[in-house]
Amino acid sequence: MKRLRKRIATAVLALAIAVMMLPTQNLQANDVPTIHVNQTYTKSFENGGEGECMYRFTAPKNGYFHVELTMTERDGENWRFTSLSVFNSANEQILETIGDARIGYTASTNVFATKAGNVFYFKLKADPSLRLTTVNFKVVYTNSENWENEYNDSAKTACALTNNRYKYGIITCNDRYDYYKMNVTKASKVKFTFGPKEITGDSNSWDVEIINSKNNTTFLFTDVSTVKAKTVYLKKGTYYLRVRREYCGVNVAYKLKYQLCGAAVSTPVISNVNIKKYKNQSVRYLNSITFSKNGYVDGYQVQVAKNKNMSGKYINQKVERRYNEKNVTSKVIRYSNMSYLKKNLKPKKITYYVRVRSYVLDPFGNIIYGNYSKIKSIKK
């Protein structure tokens, strides 16, 4: 019997401890009054006795919000004020505390973007020395599909980007990164645009990194403080963009967009292939290839073969773009005396076939090839 009583007492004690350790969120959700967005509410504190109070609201749709606080009445010292802080459902403060001692002045939090259905709390706290404080408060909510949805702080929760459509975002006070996700269905030229949503004159800057499916990472933009654009080539695949604050970029809205330009890597057009003999010898070599190209490329791949199907290749060589070549449309390129392409060609008269294709490098250094040119035949 004593053993049974001891077991019962132990079970009761364990149950009491478990009840004490239960999370308070459910109780908080039941006890905290619910308010509706875009409606003005009034709260009075008498003799500072009530101290503080909590309210909760739910995001009605995807969009963004800020909370406004206006002191309408005060009986006490002029520099005393009521403060307001905003929290998420995990009791993490997401926006900096606001408050002001001036009658009639409206203080406002920064903007926070969210998905529909997320629950938020905010706490009003009056200075206990005030005999009477009356404030108006309001959650100003804007429905929008063009803003990020917090919490996009990792690749798993990345916000999806749509081709040629801006997304707007903010690095909040407890936030370090914003992640975005994009899909490229085929090798493409892609133009990225990034910068402040509005040019406010405030000092702020961000870095933007791009991450591929192999988790390779490189910078697209660094120390951005104005709207900038950059065009790169990307292979087919899924990519992530990671925005991080660099300097005072907190709570300043930025905009981000990618645009698929749809341009394939340019295809050269061969106009001439020249073969020469060494002086006083029957050995011949490839002396020059002249072709035109459109747009920027990083280099070319040259192939020379003895068969029209390009089998039995004599030469299969990459040629880097010359350092002094500029990005000029329809520029004629002539590679002459290419010692690194020299290859003994049979002295007898047979037909050789030549083709060239351009290539570009993606931000990670991977090669993206264009289509081969039409095959040029030479008989020497």
Weakest-pLDDT range from 41-45, 54-58, 74-78, 181-185: 74-78
What is the per-residue pLDDT across 106-123, written as a single tens digit (0 to 9) for each?
999 989 999 999 999 999
Residues whose CB is less than 8 angstroms from the CB of residue 355 and which lie 6 or more positions away in sequence, other chains included: 270, 302, 303, 310, 372, 373, 374, 375, 376
Between CA 137 and CA 142 the distance in angstroms is: 16
Task: Give the 3-state secondary structure of residue 5.
Answer: helix
- Segment 156-175 mean pLDDT: 90
| Contact call for residues 87 and 32 (beta carbons, < 8 A) | no
Between CA 235 and CA 362 the distance in angstroms is: 7
Half-sphere exposure of 317 (CA within 13 A, CB side): 17
Written as six digits, the tokens of 358 are 């351009």
Between CA 174 and CA 306 the distance in angstroms is: 65
pLDDT at residue 20 in the model: 34
Average pLDDT, the chain: 80
Asked whether the bond before 151 is cis by omega within 30 degrees of 0, the reply is: yes
In this prediction, residue 144 has a pLDDT band, given cuts at 50, 70 and 90, of very high
Tallying the residues shown for the chain, one arrives at: 380
Q: How far apart are the first and last CA of the chain?
A: 112
